Amino acid sequence: MELYNENHAYQAGDIVYVFYRNPHTQDVANIQAAAVVKNPDDSNELSLFLYENYYPLSNEVAVYATEAEAQEAYYYYYGDVSEGDWND
């Protein structure tokens, strides 16, 4: 099972899915949609725009092209997604 494809070529305007940890409750992770945008500090690079913040789009971030891929990976790492409401 391929959980993360680091060779995917993303473009500004793509919507992707990432795992987001609640900064106040570190043991809670959710699947969250994020936008791929041009980095505001360097227009030659891409960033993820999530919760009004920019994050580097790098190999250190597990990015999923579809919600289904993100759900599959979430289940693999965290268990059954139906145990909680991950899609806020």
Residue type, 33: A
46-50 and 15-21 strand pairing: unpaired
- Per-residue pLDDT tens for 30-51? 899 999 999 999 988 999 999 9
What pLDDT does 3 receive? 31
The model's pTM is 0.75
Task: Report residue 28 as tokens.
Answer: 């809670």
Q: How far apart (Å, rounded) are the C-alpha atoms in residues 12 and 88?
A: 24
- Per-residue pLDDT tens for 48-66? 999 999 998 888 888 999 9
Task: Report residue 40 as tokens.
Answer: 């505001």
Q: What percentage of the chain carries pLDDT values higher than 90?
A: 44
Question: Which has the higher per-residue pLDDT, 3 or 68?
Answer: 68
